[in-house]
Amino acid sequence: MTLKEIADRLSTLSKDLLFPSESEYPLEPFVWKSSTLTPKTILTRSQKPSDTLIESITLEDFFAPVVTDEDWFEDEDRAISQRYRDLQAAIATIENVQVFKIGKIEIDVYIVGEIGPDVVGLKTTVIET
């Protein structure tokens, strides 16, 4: 798939999804031309100071809270979980996928992967107190 096709697919799959934490934030697709995936690059692109706390986690760990159906789920909840599973599966097809969490408490999350020399991904915010 081309960069545009993958970016469009992520945009379609993430449309109207809010990632839950202590608050809910949208998943915003983005494309960075000619970037490398390093913590320093992520901090620079996110316009955060170079000494900002940055942590890497797995794609599976990030999506774990939203892809598991619970016994108490109703049909709408199951449909949302399926949408997150579809989104996770689409992201997993991108090369060198990484998830970076930047900051404390109000944390910017960048889910990124490489398409040739470019980076495609999603950004959201989670609140962890």
In this predicted structure, the answer to whether residue 50 has a pLDDT above a threshold of 90 is no
Where does the pLDDT of residue 8 fall: very low under 50, low under 70, confident under 90, or very high at 90 and above? very high
pTM score, whole prediction:
0.94
Return the SS3 of 31.
Answer: strand
Contact 114, 3 (CB under 8 A): no
Q: pLDDT tens-digit profile of 63-105?
A: 999 999 999 999 999 999 999 999 999 999 999 999 999 999 9
Residues composing the chain? 129
Average pLDDT estimate for 11-32 = 96
Domain boundaries, given as residue ranges, for the chain: 3-127
CATH superfamily of 3-127: Nuclease A inhibitor-like (3.40.1460.10)
Angle at 33 between CA 27 and CA 35, to 5 degrees: 90
